[in-house]
Chains A and B, each alone.
Chain A
Amino acid sequence: MRPDLEIIQKWIEPNSHVLDLGCGDGSLLHYLNETKNVKSIGLEIDEDNIEQCIANGVNVIEQNIDEGLANFESNSFDTVLLAQTLQALSNPHLLIEEMLRIGEKGIVTFPNFGNWKSRVYLASRGRMPVSKFMPHQWYDTPNIHFCTVYDFDALCREMDIRVLTRTVVDSQHQGSWAMRALPNLLGEIAIYHIARN
């Protein structure tokens, strides 16, 4: 399992209702179904991923989350997940608002653009960072809304969202004391557990 998912799963209560926005091949939901007996639904638009979800026995709805979640009732899920998809959305703030309308809690993970590698790349080369982890060129990328840990903190304050836990890890998904001390500089992936205030 992807290590950010390893961290996420610890925040999911057994037997709870989970909605996964951009659920990929359904491996996290499959894991949660099996180990925590959750009732879950994933939303996905990639055809191969959808078929993989079906093969995994994961409930999957073909729905573009960028077009909104109006079809989901308020307070209908315990947790709404958004893993590594925030940066690809047209209106990230609106979707986060929707997440916390539909779910009691939300989990958001995203690549931290404040990481020192991105800063060094931009400072030394003067060009948008491209790495093994974020391999796209600026003109041809699904990732249209990059942000940093501090940016996301600020958004949560603006939207009056409570941050229950904030974790950062590196691309190997390892944490360290240094990362805890300097999350925006050293963290490569940010993982937030959030709720309405």
Chain B
Amino acid sequence: MSDSFPQDSVGLVKPQLFHFEEELTLRSGKSLNGFDLMVETYGELNADKSNAILICHALSGDHHAAGYHSAEDKKPGWWDNCIGPGKAIDTDKFFVVSLNNLGGCAGSSGPNTKNPETGTYYGPDFPVVTVRDWVKSQVMLMDRLGIPKWAAVIGGSLGGMQVLRWAISYPERLHHAICIAAAPKLSAQNIAFNEVARHSIVSDPNFHNGRYLEKGTSPKQGLMLARMVGHITYLSDSAMRAKFGQAVSAIDSTASNFGRDLRSGKLSFGFNVDFQVESYLRYQGERFSENFDANTYLLMTKALDYFDPSVDFDGDLSAAFANSDCKFLLVSFSTDWRFPPERSRELVNELLKAKRDVSYLEVDADEGHDAFLLPVPRYINAFRTYLNRVHGELCGDAT
């Protein structure tokens, strides 16, 4: 990376740590006696503080959604595709707030930070936090920033679930809820994949009941395996065929080889890596295991499993939305099999039942669940159009 960042980038950004003295009572009944949140903001808050947008991150995301931390950074933040001057979430128009959620491992209070009361790493003692708790802490951050009402709260996947929680629990504090590639709650299959991930982490000999940081080690193998499994669920069959099927089929040169590209051109007849997809997964898993905290992974997957806003309403999700006052935009992707379009349609139907204002797009995209992070043209255009409209409303443009 040279000194000059791309024109449509927010450029160099600096995270800020916010400390909260207040006690935060969690859904589990436990509480945090004060906590920290790591936050990045992009763009400028306008005079009447009406142009703020909250970004909610997904399972492995953090506060670094856009821009670069240094001129040497090879990659920008995780949602740089969408956030920046002139981009769908236009930082020339909006003040964008992005944070690392509680229990995360990128600077906010979490298992890899020290408990101020004991001076030792929280590790497995960090309380299990839920989507509801995250949103509660996000409200405290909002108050600290002096923002009365978000122009929009936006998130994909687990981030989309936070968006739904905002709409249900704090209806007076957001104008628009943009929920992408999410679900009303996890299916048994979703939970099953999470359980495989958790089991691989806790059965790693270096896990030490979650006290690996005190022992100066880390359950890297387990975390790597967890990520490999997770990664498969983020991609679609067609995306994998395309990604690992560059070589032509031996039988028919016009056909794809079903994504079976070999790594070294021939089979090894051993148990080493033969196919490109294997080495890709290993690489992704390894890289992830070096940068992510295993306890955080456990905690995030539990937050996913526990998410079900209908529980307070005898299982009737439409009743949960009865008091929501925002407008909703939902988006799903055709090849997403983690949270497929049917799951978003369930949400749409509950919102219709509750007579809420809702728009819904089902975008044809090959990239599976990952599509929500990628520059899929139809998705980005609709996203931009929607937010232009949101900005128009801020400027008092009624039509």
- Please report A residues at the B interface, Cβ cutoff 8 Å: 17, 30, 34, 39, 41, 47, 50-51, 53-57, 59-63, 71-73, 76
> B381 to chain A: which residues have CB within 8 Å?
51
Give 1 or 0 for each of B62-102: 1 = CB within 8 Å of chain A CB.
Answer: 00000000000000000000000000000000000000000
* B345 and A54 contacting across the interface, CB-CB below 8 Å: no
Counting CB contacts under 8 A, is B378 at the interface?
yes
Query: Given B348, B353, B355, which contacts A61 in the complex, CB threshold below 8 Å?
Result: B348
Shortest 7 CB-CB contacts between residues of A and residues of B = A71-B349, A61-B360, A62-B362, A54-B385, A55-B385, A60-B359, A59-B357
23 CB contacts below 8 A, A to B, read A34-B398, A34-B399, A47-B378, A50-B361, A50-B382, A51-B381, A53-B359, A54-B329, A54-B359, A54-B382, A55-B388, A56-B399, A57-B393, A59-B327, A59-B357, A59-B358, A60-B359, A61-B352, A62-B360, A62-B362, A63-B360, A73-B352, A76-B353
Chain A residues within 8 Å of B19, by CB: none
Cα–Cα distance between A72 and B349 once the two chains are bound (Å):
7
With A17-B355, A54-B382, A61-B352 known, 18 other A-B pairs at CB within 8 A are: A30-B399, A39-B355, A41-B352, A41-B358, A47-B378, A50-B361, A55-B388, A59-B327, A59-B358, A59-B359, A61-B348, A62-B360, A62-B361, A63-B360, A71-B348, A71-B349, A72-B352, A73-B353
Q: A57 to B399, Cβ gap below 8 A?
A: yes
Q: What CA separation (Å) do A55 and B382 show in the bound complex?
A: 9
- Chain B neighbourhood of A34, CB < 8 A: 398-399
In the assembled complex, which residues on chain B have CB atoms less than 8 Å from the CB atom of A59? 327, 357-359
Whole-angstrom CA separation of A8 from B349 in the bound complex: 27
With an 8 A cutoff between CB atoms, is B386 at the interface?
yes
Residues of B within 8 A of A41 (CB): 352, 358
In the assembled complex, how far is the CB of residue A50 from the closest CB belonging to chain B, in whole angstroms? 6
Contact of B352 among A47, A62, A71 (CB under 8 A): A71
CA distance A63 to B399 in the complex (A): 25
Residues on the B chain within 8 Å of A39, using CB: 355, 357
**Closest chain A residue, CB of each to CB of B332:** A62
Chain A residues within an 8 Å CB radius of B385: 51, 54-55
B288-311 residues at the A interface, CB under 8 angstroms: none
Residue of B nearest to A61 (CB): B360
> In the bound complex, do residue B386 and residue A54 qualify as a contact, i.e. CB atoms below 8 Å apart?
yes
Q: Which residues of B have CB within 8 Å of A62?
A: 360-362
| Minimum CB–CB distance for B260 against chain A, Å | 33
Interface secondary structure of A, over-half rule: mixed
How far apart are A51's CB and chain B's nearest CB, in angstroms? 6
Q: What does the 1/0 interface line of B328-355 toward A look like (CB < 8 Å)?
A: 0100000000000000010011001101
Tell me the bound Cα distance from A72 to B354 in angstroms.
11
* Closest chain A CB from B294 CB (angstroms): 39
Chain A CB count within 10 A is highest, among B327, B385, B388, B398, for: B385
A76: chain B residues within 8 A (beta carbon): 352-353, 355
- Closest Cβ of chain B: how far from A118's Cβ, in Å? 37
* Cα distance A125–B280 in the bound complex, in angstroms: 65
A55 to B329 Cα, complex, angstroms: 13
Q: Does B231 contact A (CB under 8 A)?
A: no
Q: Contact check, A61 vs B359: say whether CB atoms are below 8 A apart.
A: yes
Query: What's the Cα separation between A55 and B358 when bound, in Å?
Result: 14
Q: How far is the CB of B160 from chain A (nearest CB, A)?
A: 17
Contacts of A57 in B (CB 8 A): 389, 393, 399
Contacts of A55 in B (CB 8 A): 385, 388-389
Q: How far is the CA of A10 from the CA of B385 in the complex (A)?
A: 30
CB nearest neighbor in A for B361: A62
Q: Determine the residue in chain B with the shortest Cβ distance to A58.
A: B359
List the A side residues contacting B357 at CB < 8 Å: 39, 59
CB of A186, distance to nearest CB on chain B (Å): 38
A71 to chain B, nearest CB (A): 5
Bound CA–CA A71/B342 (angstroms): 12
Tell me the smallest distance from the CB of A99 to a CB of chain B, in Å.
16
State in angstroms the CA–CA spacing of A60 and B345 once bound together.
13
- Give CA–CA (A54, B355) in the complex, Å: 18
Query: Which of B352, B353, B389 counts the most A-chain CB atoms under 10 A from its CB?
Result: B352
Task: Give the residue among A30, A51, A63 with the most B Cβ atoms within 10 A.
Answer: A51
Q: Which residue of A lies closest to B329 (CB)?
A: A54
Which residues of chain B come closer than 8 Å to A17, judged between CB atoms? 355
Q: What residues of A have a CB within 8 angstroms of the CB of B398 in the complex?
A: 34
B376 to chain A, nearest CB (A): 12
Task: Using A61-B358, A62-B360 as known contacts, say yes or no to A51 and B382 having CB atoms under 8 A apart.
Answer: yes
Residues of A within 8 A of B358 (CB): 41, 59, 61
- Chain A's nearest CB lies how many Å from the CB of B385? 5
Q: Which residues of B contact A71 (CB under 8 A)?
A: 345, 348-349, 352
In the assembled complex, the CB of A109 is this many whole angstroms from the nearest CB of chain B, namely 24
Chain A residues, Cβ within 8 Å of B382: 50-51, 54
Q: How far is the CA of A72 from the CA of B351 in the complex (A)?
A: 11
- CB contacts (< 8 Å) of B361 on chain A: these are 50, 62
Determine how close the nearest CB of chain A comes to the CB of B336; give it in whole angstroms: 15
B360 / chain A contacts, CB cutoff of 8 Å: 60-63
Nearest to B393 among chain A residues (CB) is A57
CB distance from A34 to the nearest CB of B (A): 7
Q: Please, how many angstroms separate the alpha-carbon atoms of A128 and B353 in the complex?
A: 44
Q: How far is the CA of A72 from the CA of B378 in the complex (A)?
A: 27
Q: Decide: A54 and B389 in contact? CB cutoff 8 A.
A: yes
